[in-house]
Chain A
Amino acid sequence: MDRDEAPATTAGAVSGGAATPATGGVVVPKHPKPGIPMLRWSSRAHSIAACQVELDRIWKSISLTTPGVPSGGDMSPVGEERRVAARSSVMNLVVVAGRGETGERAAAVIHGLTGRHPSRTIIVSPADPDGPAWIDAQVQAHCVLPTPDSPETCAELIYLTAGGESGGHLAGIVAPLLVHDLPCTVWWPSEPRLQSRTTKDLLRMADRVLVDGSGWSGDGLDRLADLAALPAAYNVEIADFALLRQSRWREAIASSFDLPRLMPFLGSIREITVRYAAHDGSPRATNVVKPIYHLAWLASRLGMTVVEPMAAVDDAWSGYHGVLRSSRRHVAISLEPMESDNTAGSTMEVEIGAQRADHMLIARVTGQADGITVATTVDGDQLADRHYLVPRRREGDLLAETIEDAGAHPITAEALAMAAALVGRPIPGHRATGVMRAAA
């Protein structure tokens, strides 16, 4: 990134008609509107120490106070108060942006959450690895007026580019800027290089890791297995947007078995097939992280173990096949590509076949243009279809949901461990590792 680039544009869109002063400092919004994030401070620094000074300056600046109202409301004598813009932080959010535009996209998402989940956000981008070491940081405060007469809620954003050798030591740059005692989330909006030293250093300071496995190159399975190994190695929690996006699918699949007379079939599943979109000529290159998450979630929830990990069949359009064990029965599992105009790797259909005594159940959950339809048959008799609308969830919604899910996500840890077992790289000691015997 060009070091002389204007901060307001590099940090993403900021509403409020603000103008960035040349010297850096307070920005007075021209038309503040409740609920709309406004840039209220912008300054520049070229060292970590200078960044810290700028952060201090933001909150010492009396210009950030807003006219107050009498506090009232208690039995003590009422005094005149000034309402000061309140710095709020629920966490440290470190965004590793490989490219400038990735950082801008992340910044835009984070601005949208200023009021709801204010964080100290540090967007780091390495640049020009072969040049001399340098640091360029834009230090900003973004504020939201919850209501016209409320104090502003503000959060800090540091947009930091590290050139030369500095870019190889991102953890060392980030560590002094973290708010102490607050959890640290590291978000890779694009593809993380999980084996690199820089990444490992960042993981050591992280409490939580955010990724989007559906955007990874190739089939994504190796990286998925790498990801599954992180909780044990670094004591971090994982949130994968690819898995979060499937929540309505899980609701739909679970609903297939809500009827008491259908629930026993869950113990007698024989087949699970997930069909996913692929484009002509590229079924093998399609990212199958989302489809395999369906299998992994079902298998983990139903206490299945892996007998034969998923293996690609020679014919690219035949997909991947494996075998699970449920109680004493084998369950055939498949990922099958379907040529489609939909985004490659997106789920088209989940089909579950179960046989209990002489009765056969088939639950078919199918993606439609506007949602998901659940169709269930028992011995060929069609039960009533159900249709679920699937609202489009943007990155901001997923990030907010991740932040709200403080603590380990109840599905991710198990699904991820099962996914690793499904691709033949089980987490040692995990109960999904019936695979160890079979793989051996």
Chain B
Amino acid sequence: MATKAPPGRPTTTTRTGPLRPDTTERGPHTAAPAPGGRTIKDERLAQDGKRKKPSKAVEANPLRKGLRLERVPDPHVMVLFGATGDLSHRKVIPALAQLWRTNLLPQDWMLVAIGRRPYDDDMFREELRTTLRANARVPLEPSVEKQFLQRISYHRGDFDDDAAYMSLIEKLDKIDAEHATAGNRLFYLATQPSAFPLIVNQIGKCGLDHETHGGGWRRIIVEKPFGRDFDSAKRLNREVGKVFRESQVYRIDHYLGKETVRNLLVFRFANGIFEPLWNRRYVDHVQITMAESIGVEDRGSFYEETGAVRDVVQNHLLQLLALVAMEPPATLEAEALRDEKVKVLRAVDRLDRTSVDADVVRGQYGPGWVAGEHVEGYRQEPEVDADSETETFVAMKLEIDDWRWSGVPFYLRTGKRLPKRATEIAIQFRDVPHRLFTEAQSNPQPNLLAIRIQPDEGIVLRFGSKVPGLGMDIRTVNMDFTYGSAFSTDAPEAYETLILDAMLGDASLFTRADEVEAAWAAVDPILDTWVEEPPPPFPNYESGTWGPAAAERLMERAGRRWRRI
């Protein structure tokens, strides 16, 4: 920016002298702040073992009021464990690149990527360049890509190697000194779940978790799955809790970052017309479906260890259920929101062996045809046992035993190799109490509200309408709101939303320890029962169909049927 001092005006903008003297009356004498901004009273209280709590007025910056622009996080170093892994390459790095592209990362942001492979910075950046070309949501301009990659350095080390952590500390301190990242650290565990306790323990052992006084926050993002049952989740929470406070832990479930899922809160609590109907008096049942057309692809060994209940039901589906069924939170702050979700999860009627047999259906896909292509069955997939008993499909009925939902069944369904990829929540309302239009050729269907999570994100409201003409015929019509039509703007990827939230210290869309445990408690009886009982003859559904016949029967027993998605 070329400037020159004009005649007759100050030639410098660098102030060294005192400010203009105060020309008005002085306020009451203010205690002189001690070095570091602490007053003498602060010092005295600190010596007494008490710390003065900052006043509310000080905590809230009045200049922030009304600023609509996304807040840029504090400068910090992100430390990515498992940086060479699939998740980092497909999701985390592309999400960070988008945040960088849209100027939502601080300029003083650095990423230290930790992996076992023998890379140096340039080799790793070259690999990321290829990754970004393949996975970036919006392609990066070469200059932006270069800038972004320059913020990333590679640190080789095994997760159990003390020396690797010591050299990491040196590296982070050096970055702090060079880039003014102020000791702020965001750890991201994008590794195999089995490595979580080890890494957390090592972080604690070398003191990387310590939040320095007067600056320097420490946070950790932990990927799902968080445990493989209630006991292991509790153990893992305990391990993490030994090193990090709960407020420092961000357990990621990427479904919560999806635009449509976040819109659920807006839809329910920013619109007055639906909430009065959102209860047992008007709702007949709720269906939550997450269907995938793909198989296990190259995750055979992982899937063998998890199955559909652990992979999808315990987290994604129960989170959707909690958002649909929860009471309005008092505020949108993380704790208020998560308190309400936990209440719902705790109110899920505990299944026992009998109800698991009656209300939970498991399936495994066999060979078939999906989208016009022949596909193998699960047992023929790579790294899958030829006699595998792992479930790739689950359909189940749950009830929420609380004032609002008592007696309303929630049907959950997920599966692989189903005819299409689709996730939606359908609220099926009760039929009208009295059928007035008996002369009509077709009976009007009960109203239905479907919230499509993916693809074609949107909301459909189904209602009956008179067919134009002299008669009194009724046809069911849809009032269809499609995100793509109403907002053609690019929605951010879930990972972009969630990573940015963690950088900003907003935990609203992350799951809390007790929430994870409550979700495991809801599905543990299913897993326990299945361990003891042999599965039905697998495979029991053909790829490209909507699951085993038992899933249909589960609904038919109650005179209902699954939505045709």
Mark A residues whose CB is within 8 Å of B.
35, 71-78, 86, 88, 115-116, 144, 146-147, 150-151, 153, 247-248, 250-251, 253-255, 257-264, 266, 270-271, 275, 277-278, 280, 283, 298, 301-303, 315-319, 325, 327-330, 332, 336-342, 348-349, 351, 353-360, 362, 364, 367-369, 371, 378, 380, 384-391, 400-401, 405, 409-411, 414
Residue of B nearest to A364 (CB): B13
Interface centre among A73, A340, A360 (most CB of B within 10 A): A73
**B69 is contacted by which of A247, A258, A259, A371 (Cβ under 8 Å)?**
A247
- Cα–Cα distance between A258 and B5 once the two chains are bound (Å): 32
Contact B75 A250 (CB under 8 A): no
> Within 8 Å of chain A (Cβ to Cβ): is B559?
no
CA distance A385 to B59 in the complex (A): 22
Q: A247-B67, A410-B65 are known contacts. Are A339 and B4 too (CB-CB below 8 A)? A: yes
Known: A248-B69, A263-B58. A368 touches B1 (CB 8 A): yes
| Closest Cβ neighbor of A323 among chain B residues | B23
Stretch of B26-34, B88-96, B395-403, B405-413 contacting A (4+ beta carbons < 8 Å): B26-34
Instruction: Please tell me if the beta carbons of B462 and A76 are within 8 angstroms of each other in the complex.
Output: yes
User: Assuming A116-B487, A116-B489, A357-B32, is B476 touching A74 (CB within 8 A)?
Assistant: yes
A91 to B22, CA, bound (A): 51
Q: CB of B331 within 8 A of chain A?
A: no
Q: Whose C-beta in chain A lies nearest to the C-beta of B487?
A: A116
In Å, the complex CA distance between A285 and B215 comes to 46
Known A266-B61, A271-B19, A364-B13; judge A386-B485 contact (CB<8 A): no
A351-B65 in contact (CB<8A): no
One digit per residue, 1 when the CB lies within 8 angstroms of any chain A CB and 0 when it does not, for chain B 543-557 equals 000000000000000
Q: Could you say which residues of chain B place their CB within 8 Å of the CB of A410?
A: 65-66, 68
9 tightest A-B contacts by CB? A410-B66, A261-B37, A115-B488, A384-B180, A254-B63, A146-B484, A317-B9, A387-B107, A339-B6
Chain B min CB distance to A74 (Å): 6
A348 touches B3 (CB 8 A): yes
Shortest CB-to-CB span from B114 to chain A, Å, is 25
In the complex, B142 has a CB within 8 A of chain A = no
Residues of B within 8 Å of A367, CB to CB, are: 1
Which residues in window 23-78 of B have CB below 8 A to A? 23-27, 30-33, 36-38, 54, 58-59, 61-69, 71-72, 75
Given A74, A355, A386, A391, which contacts B462 in the complex, CB threshold below 8 Å? A74
A339 touches B5 (CB 8 A): yes
| Contact pattern, B 441-466, Cβ under 8 Å of A = 1, otherwise 0 | 01001001010000010001010000
Report how far A315 CA is from B9 CA in the complex, Å. 9
B32: nearest residue on chain A (CB-CB)? Answer: A357
- A–B complex contacts, Cβ < 8 Å, 22 sampled: A74-B460, A74-B563, A74-B564, A75-B563, A144-B488, A255-B72, A262-B37, A266-B61, A302-B63, A317-B9, A328-B24, A330-B22, A340-B3, A348-B1, A355-B18, A356-B33, A358-B32, A369-B1, A384-B75, A387-B107, A388-B72, A389-B103
Q: How many pairs, one residue from A and one from B, have CB atoms within 8 Å of each other in the complex?
A: 209
Q: Is the CB of A150 within 8 A of B24?
A: no
Closest-by-CB residue of B relative to A251 is B69
Asked whether, in the complex, the Cβ of B450 is within 8 Å of the Cβ of A74, the reply is yes
* Smallest CB gap from B486: residue in A: A88
User: Which residues of chain B are within 8 angstroms of A250 by Cβ–Cβ distance?
Assistant: 63, 67, 69
A298's nearest neighbour on chain B, judged by CB, is: B63
A254 to B70, CA, bound (A): 13
Query: Does B16 sit at the interface, judged by CB under 8 A?
Result: yes
**Is the CB–CB distance between B72 and A351 below 8 Å?**
no
Task: Using known A-B contacts A144-B488, A356-B30, A357-B31, determine if residue A264 contacts B66 with beta carbons closer than 8 Å.
Answer: no
CA distance A378 to B38 in the complex (A): 13
Whether A317 and B7, one on each chain, are in contact in the complex, defined by CB atoms closer than 8 angstroms, is: yes
What's the minimum C-beta distance from A340 to chain B, rounded to whole angstroms? 5
Taking a contact as CB atoms under 8 Å apart, the answer to whether A405 and B68 are in contact is yes
Q: Is the CB of A260 within 8 A of B54?
A: yes
**Are A388 and B107 in contact, with the CB atoms below 8 A?**
yes
B110 CB to nearest chain A CB (Å): 14
Q: For A316, list chain B residues within 8 Å (CB).
A: 8
Q: Given A253-B63, A254-B61, A388-B72, is A349 in contact with B33 using a C-beta cutoff of 8 Å?
A: no
A253 CA to B22 CA in the complex, in Å?
23
B interface residues, Cβ below 8 angstroms from A: 1-10, 13, 15-16, 18-20, 22-27, 30-33, 36-38, 54, 58-59, 61-69, 71-72, 75, 102-103, 106-108, 180, 182, 214-215, 442, 445, 448, 450, 456, 460, 462, 476, 478, 482, 484-489, 561, 563-565
Q: Say whether A301 contacts B482, CB under 8 Å.
A: no
A329 and B24 within 8 A (CB): yes
Contact B485 A146 (CB under 8 A): yes
Q: Given A271-B19, A329-B22, A342-B1 in contact, is the A386-B106 Cβ separation under 8 Å?
A: yes
Q: Which residues of B contact A351 (CB under 8 A)?
A: 13, 15
A336 near B9: Cβ-Cβ < 8 Å: yes
A75-B564, A317-B6, A367-B1 given; A254·B64 CB < 8 A: yes
CA gap between A385 and B456 in the complex, in Å:
44
Residue contact A301 to B62, C-beta cutoff 8 Å? yes
A411 to B33 CA separation, bound complex (whole angstroms): 33
Specify which chain B residues have a CB less than 8 angstroms from the CB of A78 in the assembled complex.
Answer: 564
| Complex interface: chain A residues within 8 A of B462 (CB) | 74, 76
What is the CA–CA distance of A357 and B27 in the complex, to the nearest angstrom? 10
Evaluate whether A72 and B66 lie within 8 angstroms (CB atoms) in the complex, with A329-B22, A339-B5 already known. no
Q: Which chain A positions have C-beta within 8 A of B214?
A: 261
Residue of B with least CB distance to A79: B475
Cβ–Cβ < 8 Å partners of B561 in chain A: 75
Query: In the bound complex, how far is the Cα of B107 from the Cα of A275, in angstroms?
Result: 24
A250 to B67 alpha-carbon distance, docked (Å):
8
Closest to B37 in A: A261
> How many whole Å from A188's CB to the nearest CB in chain B?
23
A355 surroundings in chain B (CB, below 8 A):
18-19, 22
A359: chain B residues at CB < 8 Å are 32-33, 37
Q: Is the CB of B564 within 8 A of A73?
A: yes
Sample of 15 further A-B pairs with CB below 8 A, known A74-B450, A254-B63, A411-B67: A35-B488, A71-B478, A75-B563, A116-B487, A116-B488, A150-B484, A151-B485, A254-B67, A259-B215, A301-B65, A332-B20, A362-B15, A369-B1, A384-B108, A391-B103
**Are B460 and A73 interface neighbours, CB within 8 A?**
yes
* CB neighbours of B20 from chain A (8 A): 270-271, 332, 353
CA distance A329 to B482 in the complex (A): 55
> Are B4 and A74 in contact, CB atoms less than 8 angstroms apart?
no
Task: Flag if A327 contacts B486 (CB, 8 Å).
Answer: no
Q: Max chain B CB contacts within 10 Å: which of A75, A262, A342, A385?
A: A75
By CB atoms of chain A within 10 A, which of B54, B58, B214 has the most?
Answer: B58
